[in-house]
Amino acid sequence: MFISPMLLERITVPELQQDKYKDNSKFYTELKLDGIRLLLSNFNGKIRLYTRHHTECTNRFPELTNLPIPEGTILDGEIIVSKDGKPCFESVMERFMSSKSTHPIQYGVFDILYRNNENIMGLPLSQRKEILKRILPEGNITIFPIPYIEGRASDYFNQIVLNDLEGIVIKKSSSIYSKNKRSDSWLKVINYKYETVYITKIRKDEFGAVLTFKDGRYAGVMEFIPAKERALLYKNIDRNNNSENDKFLTLKQPISCTVKYRNLTSQGLLRIPSFFSWNKHIAS
């Protein structure tokens, strides 16, 4: 049985400083795990696993199909693969994509949507957390409840930055579970990194800005840039001084900008770079 999961609104680090997110029991602060969203459903004597996009992936994670989860339960959480003591997104994606991968996974659970065949999404999160605590097996290394604290979101985020983790999630303790909706009851704050790079080429068929680091090494492709900034980019490209073929427009004079990104990949590339600012004035 699949439920379209509740989604997260994004807020910035400055917004995180608001008093309401500090010493306030009305909000829970959780670690945001860098993995793959997964719903576990146990109905009719069989555990089934689904991604947030309704892709059934039960056969990919057999270690989750024999967990002692009561019949009539749906759980929401994140699967991760740990490397050097923290979640590694590349490793969990490798495990998801390849049947030959042997990376051990763990399932961090943060919510319960059905209990004993009963829909409990209308209960406040505080009650669902208590129910979840009672039904998860203790001491099982494969499945665990994601820990949370009351308030103190800014302090928690500072620790996330110090430990180079993905981010935090802030949830109203009174929140119901709203299927397939974003809500200000569930918020995420990402621990972005920032890097000065150069746009050296423009991909022509499907927009992408090819990036290099300051030392000339390939850094990746930036696919997201706001429409206004993309228009400025094209306005400042003199096609007469550049070369192009069917796939790329190569800039004679690379354009410098700052991007934000999640982390560096194992190949040293920027993971999901997106535009942050120009590093010099460009004509508007």
Active site members: 32
SS3 content of the chain, % helix, strand, coil (to 5): 20, 40, 40
Instruction: Provide the 10 A C-beta neighbour count for residue 43.
Output: 14
Q: Tell me which residue has tokens 């203790």.
A: 138
Q: What is the DSSP letter of 264?
A: B
- DSSP letters spanning 4-71: PPPEEEE--HHHHTSGGGSS-TTEEEEEE-SSEEEEEEEETTEEEEEETTS-B-GGG-GGGTT--PPT
Q: What is the amino acid identity at position 284?
A: S
Residue 207 makes CB contacts below 8 A (sequence gap 6+) with 223, 225, 230
Q: What is the DSSP letter of 1?
A: -
Mapped onto helix, strand or coil, the DSSP state of residue 109 is strand
Spatial CA neighbour of 143 closest among 105, 115, 108: 108
CA 259 to chain centroid: 17
